[in-house]
């Protein structure tokens, strides 16, 4: 299990330092050699198409320099992303992040077809053919939503269809109120359905161990969302240096934790 609680545990000074290290995004058209365009061949792309119960598919792309504590690129100088699926196309909009701009477009959910993302440029090589396919929709069968759980219990999370050949992973997000009136928020990775049978056992104590590591007083209640994600690997355009492309369909179920 991996913990993902960076912003919960960082103090204010550490957070400011982190944001300063990230810094402002680079310009895609003026941060290259001699003040020109950044070569497409030096860019790393992070491309995701994600859908949950809303029935909306969110296409999200980020370009960065691939360095530790590196920087993302803000598209300018005529550079832009365009996403298409089943003949419908949309330019992808900047999410206006100060440090790591993502470019986003929304479509109705469709599985088994390619979402095609093109990176179009004025001054360097285009990358017109990154592709992602979404897995089929699925339903969580057990446990029941808002099932009450307590210390020492193990819950079987099952879903149908199993999602194979997509990779199925489980994670959690917990919101635990404290007696002081504040909350502890924690998230993490639980397991991967390595045998693709559509079921995994989740130990409540494993989740609470992470949650309690960030608490300043006793935890007696938590709202825990367990998320099952089916993931298919996509393909990035060879014009990029490297990157990742994933199609992700997710469903979640809520557990009500009450201390024993």
Q: Which domain-ending residue is among 133, 160, 189? A: 133
207 has a pLDDT exceeding 50: yes
DSSP letter at 34 equals G
Q: What is the CATH number of the domain that holds 107?
A: 2.60.40
Q: Residue 28 domain-assigned?
A: yes
Same domain as 167, residue 123? no
| pLDDT at res. 20 | 36
Q: State the average pLDDT over residues 211-234.
A: 93
Q: State the average pLDDT over residues 14-28.
A: 59
The pLDDT confidence band at residue 180, using thresholds 50, 70 and 90, is: confident
Q: How confident is the prediction for the chain on average, in pLDDT?
A: 91
DSSP letter at 4 equals -
Q: Residue 1 domain-assigned?
A: no
Q: Residue 108 domain-assigned?
A: yes
| pLDDT at res. 147 | 98
Q: How far is CA 229 from CA 50, 134, 148, 162, 246, in A?
A: 10, 11, 22, 11, 11
Q: Which domain-ending residue is among 98, 133, 168? A: 133
Same domain as 188, residue 101? no
Same domain as 102, residue 155? no
Same domain as 174, residue 88? no
Same domain as 226, residue 156? yes
Q: Which domain-ending residue is among 133, 168, 191? A: 133
Q: Residue 19 domain-assigned?
A: yes
Determine the structural domain holding residue 153 and report its residue range. Answer: 136-258
Quickly tell me which residue has 């559509």 as its tokens: 198
Same domain as 127, residue 140? no
The pLDDT confidence band at residue 14, using thresholds 50, 70 and 90, is: very low
Same domain as 242, residue 175? yes
pLDDT per position as a tens digit, 60-73: 999 999 998 889 99
Helix (H, G, I), strand (E, B) or coil at 3: strand
DSSP string, 208-238: HHHHHHT-SS---EEEEEEEEEEEEE-B--T
Q: How far is CA 201 from CA 114, 143, 190, 210, in A?
A: 33, 11, 9, 17
Q: Residue 11 domain-assigned?
A: yes
| pLDDT at res. 252 | 97
The pLDDT confidence band at residue 10, using thresholds 50, 70 and 90, is: very low
pLDDT per position as a tens digit, 103-140: 999 999 999 999 999 999 999 999 999 999 999 999 99
Same domain as 202, residue 125? no
62-67-70-74 Cα dihedral, nearest 10 degrees: -30
- How many domains does the structure of the chain reveal? 2
| pLDDT at res. 21 | 41
11 has a pLDDT exceeding 50: no
Q: Residue 62 domain-assigned?
A: yes
Helix (H, G, I), strand (E, B) or coil at 123: coil
Judge residue 75's burial from the number of C-beta atoms within 10 Å of its C-beta, 0-12 exposed, 13-18 middle, 19 or more buried.
buried
| pLDDT at res. 24 | 86
| pLDDT at res. 16 | 38
Same domain as 101, residue 81? yes
Q: Residue 176 domain-assigned?
A: yes
Q: State the average pLDDT over residues 166-181.
A: 94
Q: What is the CATH number of the domain that holds 206?
A: 2.60.40.10
Same domain as 164, residue 87? no
Same domain as 126, residue 187? no
Answer for the pair 33, 43: CB distance below 8 angstroms, yes or no.
Answer: no
Estimate to the nearest angstrom the gap between the alpha carbon of 126 and the chain centroid: 26
241 has a pLDDT exceeding 90: yes
| pLDDT at res. 189 | 95
Rounded to whole angstroms, how far apart are CA atoms 55 and 59?
13
Rounded to whole angstroms, how far apart are CA atoms 147 and 155?
10
| pLDDT at res. 22 | 54
Q: Residue 88 domain-assigned?
A: yes
Same domain as 95, residue 198? no
Quickly tell me which residue has 């999370």 as its tokens: 157
């Amino acid at each position: 299990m991996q913990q993902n609680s960076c912003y919960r545990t960082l103090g204010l000074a550490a957070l400011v330092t982190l944001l300063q290290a990230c810094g402002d995004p680079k310009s895609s058209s003026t941060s290259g050699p001699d003040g020109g365009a950044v070569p497409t061949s030096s860019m790393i792309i992070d491309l995701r198409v994600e859908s949950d119960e809303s029935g909306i598919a969110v296409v999200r792309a980020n370009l960065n320099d691939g360095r530790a504590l590196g920087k993302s690129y803000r598209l300018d100088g005529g550079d832009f992303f365009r996403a298409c699926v089943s003949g419908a196309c949309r330019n992808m909009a900047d999410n206006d992040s100060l440090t790591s701009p993502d470019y986003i477009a929304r479509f109705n959910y469709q599985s088994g077809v390619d979402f095609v993302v093109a990176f179009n440029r004025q001054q360097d090589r285009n990358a017109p053919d990154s592709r992602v396919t979404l897995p089929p929709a699925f339903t969580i069968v057990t446990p029941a939503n808002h099932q009450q759980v307590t210390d020492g219990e193990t819950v079987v999370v099952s879903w149908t269809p199993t999602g194979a050949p997509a990779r199925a992973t489980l994670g959690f997000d917990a919101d635990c109120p404290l007696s002081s009136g504040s909350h502890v928020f924690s998230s993490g990775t639980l397991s991967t359905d390595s045998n693709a049978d559509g079921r995994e056992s989740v130990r409540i104590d494993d989740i609470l161990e992470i949650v309690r590591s960030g608490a300043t007083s006793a935890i007696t209640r938590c709202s825990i969302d367990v998320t099952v994600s089916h993931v298919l690997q996509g393909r990035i355009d060879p014009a990029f240096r490297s990157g990742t492309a994933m199609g992700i369909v997710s469903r979640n179920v809520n557990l009500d934790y009450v201390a024993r």
